[in-house]
Structure 1
Amino acid sequence: MTAAKTELRTRARELRGEGKTYDEIVEVLGVSKSSVSLWVRDLPRPPRRTPVAEHVRMMAEARWGPRREEARLLRERTKTAAAAEIGSLEGRELFLLGVGLYWAEGSKSKSYRLKERAIFVNSDPGMISVYLAWLALLGVAPERLGFRVMIHESADVAGAERYWAGLVGVDVSALSKTTLKRHNPRTVRKNVGEGYRGCLVVDVRGSADLYRRIEGWWYGIVGAAREIELPIRT
């Protein structure tokens, strides 16, 4: 058993000792139910929830469930209406959006560490798609792009690699070696389960000139924003 699996097994047994069910342990650790069963099957079952406690839970769900659903529908209606307000993007709009997107999320050179290279890292597939559309607008050729996955070692690494490769339209074999983050069993992570795919790193090769232009574009946006006369609040 590898060190990572040993740590996961230890944490699974700790959670079982705290009275967690198999499903709850799976949600915390992001491992399969069969692994959890193998690791903790010799431990005593947690006490069953009493009928009174289950009744209280059901009563609370009957009261608050409809309200949560109403709130969820309201959120979805608001987001759908907001999305419709955007419409299509013009070239200049995408250009300015991409500059701000990179300066917020991309790698930046420091005075103490000069590294002029356009590198973008994000876990949001929408952000990756917008960034790639922006690079295409700038005329960056696809063959200049390098892709690499960053993910926790306890996650579905192969599944994440397939997902990101499919999103950016390359074969899995075209990805650079995946960066694995060591798992700390004492850390209760929320980014687990089927929806967790780590981050994708997009590296533009030979991008020193592009990086300098991005930095200049951003300074231009900042200067233009400072010149806008905003209404005085009373």
Structure 2
Amino acid sequence: MAVNLRMAGKSYSEIKRVIGVPKSSLSYWLKDTPLSETQRAKLIGRYKEGQIENFINTMRAKREARKMDAYRLAAKSLLPLTDRELRIAGLFLYLGEGSKRQPGQILVSNTDPDVIKFALYWYEKSLGIMKDKIKVGLQIYKDMDTKEESLFWSRHLRIPLKNFWKPYIKNSGTATIDHSGHKHGTCTLYYGNVSLHEDILMSIQCILDASNRRA
């Protein structure tokens, strides 16, 4: 069997895995069964491919280990958030993803379900907004299933469908989007309150002004 495997272009390591014989014995048995130049070239190619794959897997494992270490350190140093810290975190989310130009309209939009879930948590815990008063709007692509995506967001946010407005359907399809991101469209949380909206905007401006004075 060893000779047949060698003639088929297998390496000593591959033959060893099949028949369980030490490489030293295989070297003696197969000394008169050399590989052809073509077989040798293929074997070297497989070896290099294996090295590359092993390197990629090793780097991926190291990267994931670093990320988990960073996550644990962050959890230890940042959590749990105080009420003040939660308010500030939400203000900066609103600075990036919230509506500033529609008076009285407190809106946060994003494609990431976890970002929207945090925004909802901030609405409730920091702004004191009742969950049943929040409306949800979706923007989805024409080749998405409207019912399926509405159900996804309803379950993820634990907000009943009766609080959802009719989704806005974009004319383009999902072929035009980056598929490495989320595929459930854009979700927006709506709540109307003029004084609360002004408080959010002025709180953000207060922080920005203080930072600018220090710069």
TM-score class, shorter: 0.5 to 0.7
CA deviations on 1:202-227 (whole Å, 9 max, x unpaired) are 001x2221211111001111122234
TM-score of the superposition, structure 1-length normalised? 0.62
Amino acid at match of 1:67: F
* Residues 159, 93 of structure 1: alpha-carbon distance in 2 compared, 3 angstrom cutoff: same
Out of 108, 111, 115, the residue aligned to residue 127 of structure 1 is 115
TM-score of the superposition, structure 2-length normalised? 0.67
Residue 126 of structure 2 is aligned to residue 140 of structure 1: no
Larger Rg: 2
Alignment RMSD (CA, Å): 2.8
Amino acid at match of 1:169: R
* Residues 69, 159 of structure 1: alpha-carbon distance in 2 compared, 3 angstrom cutoff: farther
* Structure 1 partner of 2:89: 97
CA deviations on 1:99-137 (whole Å, 9 max, x unpaired) are 01001111121xxxx544111110111211211111112
SS in 1 for 2:100: coil
SS in 2 for 1:202: strand
Deviates more, 1:216-225 or 1:167-176: 167-176
Amino acid at match of 1:142: K
* Residues 173, 60 of structure 1: alpha-carbon distance in 2 compared, 3 angstrom cutoff: farther
Greater relative contact order: 1 or 2 (C-alpha under 8 angstroms, separation 6 or more)?
1
Amino acid at match of 2:91: V
* Structure 1 partner of 2:54: 66
CA distance in 2, matches of 1:98, 1:213: 13
**Aligned-pair distance for 1:168?**
1.2
Number of residue-to-residue matches in the alignment: 168
Structure 2: segments with no counterpart, 5+ residues: 1-42
CA distance in 1, matches of 2:117, 2:62: 27
Amino acid at match of 1:68: I
CA distance in 2, matches of 1:192, 1:81: 24
**Aligned-pair distance for 1:60?**
7.1
Residue 189 of structure 2 is aligned to residue 197 of structure 1: no
**Aligned-pair distance for 1:156?**
3.3
CA distance in 1, matches of 2:46, 2:203: 57
**Aligned-pair distance for 1:163?**
1.1
CA distance in 1, matches of 2:143, 2:166: 17
* Structure 1 partner of 2:138: 149
Structure 1: segments with no counterpart, 5+ residues: 1-54, 230-234
SS in 2 for 1:140: coil
CA deviations on 1:27-85 (whole Å, 9 max, x unpaired) are xxxxxxxxxxxxxxxxxxxxxxxxxxxx9x97775343223322322332232222222
CA distance in 2, matches of 1:172, 1:58: 55
CA distance in 1, matches of 2:162, 2:46: 50
* Residues 69, 177 of structure 1: alpha-carbon distance in 2 compared, 3 angstrom cutoff: same
CA contact under 8 A between 1:150 and 1:179: conserved in structure 2? yes
CA contact under 8 A between 1:108 and 1:116: conserved in structure 2? no
CA distance in 1, matches of 2:90, 2:164: 23
% identical equivalent positions: 22
